[in-house]
A = this chain, B = another copy of it.
Amino acid sequence: MPRSHEKNFQEETTMSIGIIAAGLAVLTGFGAGIGIGIATGHASDAIARQPEASGKINSTLLLGCAMAEGTAIFGFITALIIIFVG
C-alpha cells in the first residue's frame, strides 16, 4: 500500500507539471483580449464620428476581431492537447 500510494503521488505530480503548461498556453488569450479591446474602443469612437458608416465599421471590426480571436484559439487548442493528449 505505501508503494501504490507513492506511485499515485508521482502520477499526480507529473500531471500537475503538464497542467501548468496548459495554464501557460491559454495565457495567449491575454494578448488577444487586449487587442480586441483596443479594436472595439476605436470602432466605438469611429461610429460616434460617422454614425452612418456603422455597418462598414462593424464588418471591419468583425474581421479584425476574428483574426485576433484566432490567436487565442491557438493557445486554447494547445492547452486542450496538453491536457488530454500530452
Chain A residues in the interface with B (C-beta under 8 A): 2-3, 5, 7-54, 56-83, 85-86
Q: Kindly state the separation between the CA atoms of A60 and B61 in the bound complex, as whole angstroms.
A: 8
Select A29's contact among B39, B52, B71, beta carbons within 8 Å: B71
Write out the residue numbers on chain B whose beta carbons fall within 8 Å of the beta carbon of A78: 22-23, 26, 76, 79-80, 83
Q: Kindly state the separation between the CA atoms of A9 and B8 in the bound complex, as whole angstroms.
A: 10
Q: Can you sample 13 A-B contacts with CB below 8 Å?
A: A7-B9, A14-B15, A27-B30, A29-B31, A31-B31, A33-B71, A37-B39, A37-B65, A39-B40, A40-B60, A47-B53, A57-B60, A67-B69
Write out the residue numbers on chain B whose beta carbons fall within 8 Å of the beta carbon of A3: 2, 5
Write out the residue numbers on chain B whose beta carbons fall within 8 Å of the beta carbon of A46: 44-45, 47-48
